[in-house]
Structures are given as C-alpha cells and as structure tokens.
Amino acid sequence: MKKYTKSIAAAVAALAIFVTTNANAQTSSEPTNPSRQKLGIGINAGIPTQDGSSFALGADLRYQVDLDRQLSIPITAGFTSIFNKDIGNIEVSNFNYIPAKAGLKYFFSTTGAGAYALAEAGAAFGTNKGAGTSFVYSPAIGYAWDNGLDLGVKYEGLAKDGMNNGYVGLRLAYGFKL
C-alpha cells in the first residue's frame, strides 16, 4: 500500500505539472479567452463516517484549468482535521492530514457555471506521528455561480491498509479568475 500511495502522489504531481504547462501554452496562443484558469479557496465542514469522531473541518486551495466551458481539471491541496471524541478519561488525538488531489469537474450547463459533478483522487499525508500516507478520493456535486461563489456537497474518503475513514461535508469556496 505504501508504494501505491506514493505512486498516486507522483501521478498527482505529474498531472499538475502537465496541466500547468499545457494551460500556459493554450492561454498564450488564445488571447481571446484568457480566463481559462481559476484559483479557489474553500472551507470544508462535515460529519465523519467513523464512530468515535465528532466532526471534520478543513481548508483548501484549488487550481482549476478549464478544458472547455463544461470540463475542468481541478488540482486541490489543503489541510483537514477529523476531531475525535475522548474515551472516558482518555484523551484521543485528532486525525490531521494534508490531501493532494486531482480530478475532473463537469458542468451540466454550457455556460461554465451552474450545477456540476466532481471526482478527485490522490494522496492524504497524515501529520500525526506514524499516520503515514493514505489514498484519498472525493466525489462531489455542487453549484458554482458566475460571481465566483461555489457550494458543494462531498464525501472525502481515506483508505489505508484495509481501513477506511472519511466524512460527508459541505465545501464553501470563492474562485478567482487568473
């Protein structure tokens, strides 16, 4: 599993480099459509799916390259904390991780705004001692307004060594055109 998550992280990094290079080439050759890249900042809050956890909270940055008006490639990184409940008098530490994901975002309208579906996958780097790296995946649906606001409902799952953890949550974000 360790080699698998490192391979996923390497693939996410390679995709990020490829998309950035390709997007820069496209925007320089297409001066009539310079707003093909966006940078968004978001906050995530949700309910964990595993017993013993109370809530999840995080923040992220998302770089998005529009391939056309309906299809985009998002690359997302951030920080998330799943807050655990104490067991009796025993204090249980929270599970913290840094997700690095890439995926596809499809808008159902040809305007490049409105309702969308999103699927991302990548690696989650645990910041707790001995946490290691997990496979992270995140399907979502949402709505993006023309003014940059974005509201989505998502599931973010983490898988490592046959164990699964995750949360169902909301992401509220604002995107800037680059």
Q: DSSP for 1-43?
A: -HHHHHHHHHHHHHHHHHHHHHHHHHHHH-TT----EEEEEEE
Task: Specify the pLDDT at position 85.
Answer: 83
> What is the rounded CA–CA span in Å between residue 35 and residue 27?
8
Q: What is the span of the domain harbouring residue 158?
A: 2-177
What's the number of domains the chain is made of?
A: 1
Task: Specify the pLDDT at position 34.
Answer: 47
Burial degree of 90 (CB within 10 A; 0-12, 13-18, 19+): exposed
Q: Of all helices (H) and strands (E), which one includes residue 88? A: none
CATH label of the domain that carries residue 116: 2.40.160.20
Mean pLDDT by 10 residues, the chain (178 residues): 52 50 48 70 96 94 95 97 84 91 97 95 95 96 96 96 92 94
